[in-house]
Each structure stands twice: as C-alpha cells, then as structure tokens.
Structure 1
Amino acid sequence: MPALPHLTTAAAEETVRSRLDKLRDARVVVTGGGGLVGSRLVALLRSAGCAVTVLDRMDAYPESGHETFGVARSGARLVVGDIRDADTVGTLLREADFVVHAAAYADVAACTRRPDIAFRANVEGTQVVLEQAARFPVRRLVLVSSASVYGNGVPGVEGPQVFREDMPLDPVSVYANGKLWAEHQTRLMLGAASGTEYAVVRYFSVYGEPQIPKPGSHSWMVPWLSLQARLGRPMRLNGGGNQVRDLVHVDDIAEATALALTEEQMAGQTVNVGTGRPTSVREVADLIAPYFPGSRRIVTPRPDGDPLGGYACVERSRELLRWQARIGVREGVDRYVRWLLETPEAMPRWLAEESGNPEEA
C-alpha cells in the first residue's frame, strides 16, 4: 500500500477536526472513560460537539488518579457503574449512536496475579456490552484491543519485529488472551446481521501526561522510570531494558479512536494504532536521565508475561483511518517529564512513601 504523504501538524489537526465534524450532536457512550485514554477521548469528542456518556467504576486508580484525568470536569455525563450490569449498559446503549468499549482490567501484571478478576472484567463485561449492542443497535461500536495479542511475534526472529494485523496471534499473558477473545467475540456477535457495525483498534504502548502508575504494575514505563528518577531512586531496567515498544502518545491514541467511529472503510476492520517506530526501554531511560542529574539505572529480571516487544505496521491505519501518529517519543517524553516537574502533587503518595523500590517497574 502506498504511504500517505506526511502532514504538517497544523494540517493534520485541521484534517482530524474537519472529519470529526461528522460526529457533531452524536450520542457516544465510552465505557472505561474515566481512565487516561478514555478521558482524553472524551475530551476530544466533547470538543467535536458530541453528547458523551461515560460508564466507569472509577476505582482503577488509588487516591486522586481519576481526578487527575479530569473526566468529571469534561462536561460528559458520568455514570458510575459496572459494564457487567446489563440493565445499566442496555439503558445507555438504547439512547446511543456510537459506543467505544475501552473498559478493562487493563494491567498485564494484575491480570496475571488475578485471572479471576480479569475474566470477570475483560470477558464477562465485554460479553454484556456486545449483547446489549446487538439488542439495541448503534451505528458503530469501536472495540479497544491491544498489541499484546501479538505476543512475542514470530518465533526465532531476532531483533525488533514489526507486527502486522494479519499475522498469526499468540498471546503470552492473561490480559492479552482476554483481548484476543474480545476481538473474536465482537466479530461473531456484531456486523450486518446485528445492525451494529464494529471496528477494532489495537493500541500499542500508550503514554503521556497525566499518566500515573498503579501499584504492583510493570506497565507504563515512561511514568514508572520518570517517577523513580524524580524520587532519586534508580530506574529499573527489567531484562536489561532491551525490550522494544512502539510508544504512542495518548493524544494520538484519542484521535485514532475517534476517527475509527467515523471512517467508512473501518467497518468490520482491525487496525494497529502505533507510530511504526521501535523504542527500547533503555532508550526511554536515556531520554529521561538528563532531567534528573545523578540518576542511576539498575538491571532487574523481566516479569512473567512481559513480551519482548515489537512495533506496529501502520500501513493499514494510514489507509483505513487516513491517520498517522504525530507526536514523536522525544517530544512526548519531554512533555511528560516537564508536566511531572511542574505538578508535584501528581506524585502518588503510596509510591513516595515506599521504603524501597516497587516490586515491578
């Protein structure tokens, strides 16, 4: 597929904004809209003139995490509830034009520790949402999936792998397995026969201000490494920091997800949402270190279920979404660290009060 020409930032913003005009006055339900990605998406949809309803349990983060993300101040209607509650989900979808299903127990390490919770949230909860979307058809449901469905990619290949949407999928974690099930179940339950179109977006490694980590997680390496350096603790490089990630800024994620609601070619399709560029964990530490003179690095074991990593093939997202990520890793890390330095109250109290390093970073 020929790549689309690179757009300037101003032109790209205008193109996205003009295309999102199709959503003006649309009624959109965002499950999991209280988290980092969900709240950024809600803000974007509100700026496009949508009437947005958020369904979220609002318990994924300790202390004031959800307050930091700001969905309660977005002007969206906030319904505090569980996606496993069919009555609540059905009531909301009966009045909706579009749905973004982003709610999940969204932490690889936590899902490994508590597969029972992961099953209830990511499998049972998704089944309820799909059943209600089939019962009360909407114009389109966008399912938020994950690059974790690729696992470690093709066995025996050395170096960073490029993950293509049509390659064999081999999840290596409970979280990834749940996401792959959700993709299959969405395809089986929705489509022309149900009256609800669907589209699937596979997020790569999301980061960006005001992201904060959860206790006991090894995800979200930009905030983890930044916060450790800010506290004067060593930045922990699991497995030596040689794993690669396709780091995609939350602002870019929000744009791609919103466009997945409107682009006609996305009906029934699955696309990667990434930058198409690999970045190692060690490289991220190198970008953070200059902001914290004297910062140190230590090598720690790679956690179970933590993939070796790869990066997105972005040809399909360029073609079907007519979109490409605009924020590079250097700019994104700079924005995050500057936000952290300017917002000392964002430091999680549980992390600052720890006597040692977190279990996983």
Structure 2
Amino acid sequence: MHDTQWKEIAGRTVLVTGGAGLIGSRITSHLRQIGAQPVALCTLDAYPRHTYRDLFGVDASDPGVIIGDIQDTALVKKAVADADYVIHAAALADVAACTREPMSAIHNNITGTQVLLDAVAACQRIRRLVYVSSASVYGNGNPDDWARPCDEFRTVRALLESVYGRVPPQFHEHAPLRPMSVYANTKAWGETQAALTLGAVRISFTIVRYFSVYGDPQVVKENSHSWVVAWFATRAALGLPLHLNGGGHQIRDLVHVDDIAEATVRALIAPRAHNETINIGTGTPTSIRKVAELVAARYPGTRMVDTPMPPGDPLGGYAATRRMEAVLDWRPTITVEEGVARYADWLRRTPGAILGWLRSQSNAASA
C-alpha cells in the first residue's frame, strides 16, 4: 500500500466497535501505530475486567474507551458523529453461545448492527465502514463444486483426499452463502444489511470475512468450542486431553490475529476495497487434528480423545485469497506452525491466561 494511503488515515478518528476484545484490541493497537486515533466501544463483559487490562492491554479509564452497548442508540449516534471511519467488530462471536441463546445473538448481532448502520447512514462524515463477517457464512460449501469432470479437478481432488482424508472446499467470495449456525446466519444478514443501508446513501463499506482467528492473547470461554488453538494449548498445559470433535477432521484456515488486524486496517483505506467483500485467510487448509498434533508437540505426553461433533460446527474449508491479495496488496505472513509455537510460548510466560474455572476442571480430573 502506498505511503500516501497510510498518511490519509493519520490523525483520523476510527470508531472500533468491540474494540476491547482480542481482535478489536489488536486493531486499535495497529491503528495507533500508523497515527490514527482509535476509539473502542465495548461492553467489557465477555471476560472478567482484569482480563481486558492484563491480557488485552485495555484500560477502562482511557478516554479512547467507551464502555457501552452497541444497542444503545443515543450512545452509538454520539460515537459515530465524532468518527471519520468505523470498524464494526462487536458481536456475540461464540458459535456455541449463539446456538444456546439465539435471542442474545439477535440482540447483539442483528439489532446492534442495525443501530450502528442507521447512525452511520445518518452521518455523512463517515468515509468508510468495515463490517467484520465470518467464513462461517459459507457453511460446508457446495460439494458440487468438486464434481466437475475435468482432469485438473480430478488431480486436485486426489491430492487433497490423500492429505486430508476428504476434499476441503475452497471458499470464493462469489459463492452462495450456506450458514449452518445462528452465529453464521446473523453474519450473513449483517453483510446484506450493510450493503442495503449504506449503499442507499452512498457511504463506502467493505465486508471482510475472517477465517479462523487465533493467537495470543486469546483466552478460552467456558462452554465454548471456538478458538481451537487456545483451547488445545490451554488444556495441554494443564495436562488435560485434547477433545477432537468429530475426530478432528474439520478443516480450518487459521489466520493469526496480527495478520487479521493488518488486513482490517488495509480494508479500511484501500481504494479498491470500496463496496467489496473480501476473504481474510491464508489460503492454506489445516485440519483440527493437525492443530492438535502441533500443540501436542509442544507438550509431550498430551493425549487426544475423539468426541461428538457439536451442533453448528461446519466441516469447513479454506479461503480463496486472490481478491484479498489484489485489493489489499497484501497477504498474511504468519504460518500456523509459527503461530501455534508463539501461542504456546506466550501461555508459558502468562499463567494468568489460564482462568480459574478451567484450573478447577484440571484439579477435579486429577483428584
């Protein structure tokens, strides 16, 4: 990206909803590094308050932090009125929690999104909104995509089956959406609604579909099956077995949170990202079992146990990255091997990242 494009955002105010979470805090940090003025709007209720301070580096007393709910119309209007750009990352992003409590998903991910979109649509000052979506909108993809009778596809199919045991689909931005969970359904709705609401008033927007985000300082949530690297590393550190849901044959495209932050900020200012939908992934398929093996290599003696597949958990696939590379003039730099090693090293240096409720499980298992 040209220096003039980075300079364009210097000194500008960027409202980041969900800006105190793992991804949001990395985005705000990156924005500061390039001279922007990020403002984080977040409820600070997804984790204990000390987690935000000690792990995510978020100080609730910082004037750049607004504690509040994305559904608060007056609060959101005021925050948007003072901004030049908006990154909408606030969501109930836990697939299991959305499945258990669909009304919470609707309130947070649909009502909250509409409140924000209405505020942005009424504020002609906003130069662009980036809507954070998810690869979960693709579901399991279209199996017919791999049924084409040509030698090239037969060769690729045979290679993928030999490596992964099945054919993991590659997800292209133009593919039909097939959400399989409440969470995915809310994200698919948000994509369409962003285009409808902002397109009508000619405010620039970009939709970024994150693939599987991981990396320190990610910490696990109770009763969740998301964030597989954090789950596996934390359980291995406590001597607990790694649960391979469905045998660990699901495919994920694991993208380090540092790369996610870089891509999101680029999407905010890249000229070619205007009204685009972009995958943010590495283009490399990795099985859940492979992640477990990488983690186990860092913790000798770790056991693996096959467990049932939870509802709403797709078999998955990996990102087509050509559009991302062309539009953002960029591609991710951190491999999954490097990222897992970095996470395990960080976890050893940061024992406070293993929360009390999980330590209790470990103590009960060893009693």
The normalised TM-score by structure 1 is 0.91
Cα distance between partner residues in 1 of 2:332 and 2:60: 27
Task: Evaluate the alpha carbon distance shift between residue 179 and residue 70 of structure 1 in structure 2; reply closer, same or farther with a 3 A threshold.
Answer: same
Mapping of 1:149-298 within 5 angstroms?
149-155=137-143, 158-191=166-199, 193-298=200-305
Task: Tell me which stretches of 4 or more aligned residues in structure 1 moved more than 3 Å.
Answer: 15-19, 73-76, 155-158
Cα distance between partner residues in 2 of 1:131 and 1:125: 10
Across the two proteins, how many residue pairs are aligned to each other?
342
Mapping of 1:52-63 within 5 angstroms?
52-62=38-48
Q: Deviations over 1:303-343 (max 9, x none)?
A: 01000010000000011111101100000000000000111
Q: In structure 2, what residue type is equivalent to 1:78?
A: V
Cα distance between partner residues in 2 of 1:356 and 1:313: 44
2:152 corresponds to: none
**Counterpart secondary structure, 1:129:** helix
- Is residue 104 from structure 1 mapped to residue 111 from structure 2 by the alignment? no
Q: CA deviation at 1:267?
A: 0.7
Cα distance between partner residues in 1 of 2:334 and 2:356: 30
1:125 corresponds to: 112
Aligned Cα root-mean-square deviation (Å): 1.7
Q: Deviations over 1:180-235 (max 9, x none)?
A: 000000000003x4142111000000000110011110000001000111000101
Q: In structure 1, what residue type is equivalent to 2:346?
A: W
Q: CA deviation at 1:356?
A: 5.6
Mapping of 1:42-81 within 5 angstroms?
42-62=28-48, 64-67=50-53, 68-72=55-59, 77-81=64-68
Cα distance between partner residues in 1 of 2:123 and 2:241: 52
Q: CA deviation at 1:64?
A: 2.8
**Counterpart secondary structure, 2:243:** strand
- Is residue 143 from structure 1 mapped to residue 131 from structure 2 by the alignment? yes
Q: CA deviation at 1:73?
A: 8.3
Larger CA deviation: 41-50 vs 60-69? 60-69
Q: CA deviation at 1:21?
A: 2.7
Name stretches of at least 5 consecutive residues in structure 1 with no aligned partner: 1-14
* Identity percentage of aligned residues: 50
Q: Deviations over 1:20-50 (max 9, x none)?
A: 3321001100000011000000000011111
Question: Is contact 2:60–2:67 with CA below 8 Å preserved after alignment?
Answer: no
1:11 corresponds to: none
Question: Is contact 1:209–1:339 with CA below 8 Å preserved after alignment?
Answer: yes
Larger CA deviation: 99-108 vs 58-67? 58-67
Question: Is contact 1:42–1:76 with CA below 8 Å preserved after alignment?
Answer: no
Q: In structure 1, what residue type is equivalent to 2:10?
A: R
Cα distance between partner residues in 2 of 1:32 and 1:249: 18
Cα distance between partner residues in 1 of 2:301 and 2:178: 41
Cα distance between partner residues in 2 of 1:151 and 1:220: 17
Cα distance between partner residues in 2 of 1:20 and 1:285: 38
Q: Deviations over 1:242-297 (max 9, x none)?
A: 11100000000000000011101111100000000000111111111122121110
Task: Evaluate the alpha carbon distance shift between residue 237 and residue 356 of structure 1 in structure 2; reply closer, same or farther with a 3 A threshold.
Answer: farther
2:350 corresponds to: 343
Cα distance between partner residues in 2 of 1:290 and 1:314: 29
Q: Deviations over 1:77-133 (max 9, x none)?
A: 100000111111111111110000000001100000000100000000000000000
The normalised TM-score by structure 2 is 0.90
Q: In structure 2, what residue type is equivalent to 1:127?
A: Q
Q: CA deviation at 1:61?
A: 1.6
Name stretches of at least 5 consecutive residues in structure 2 with no aligned partner: 147-165
Cα distance between partner residues in 1 of 2:49 and 2:113: 27
Q: CA deviation at 1:63?
A: 5.6
Question: Is contact 2:298–2:341 with CA below 8 Å preserved after alignment?
Answer: no
**Counterpart secondary structure, 1:72:** coil
**Counterpart secondary structure, 2:38:** strand
Q: In structure 2, what residue type is equivalent to 1:166?
A: H
**Counterpart secondary structure, 2:296:** helix
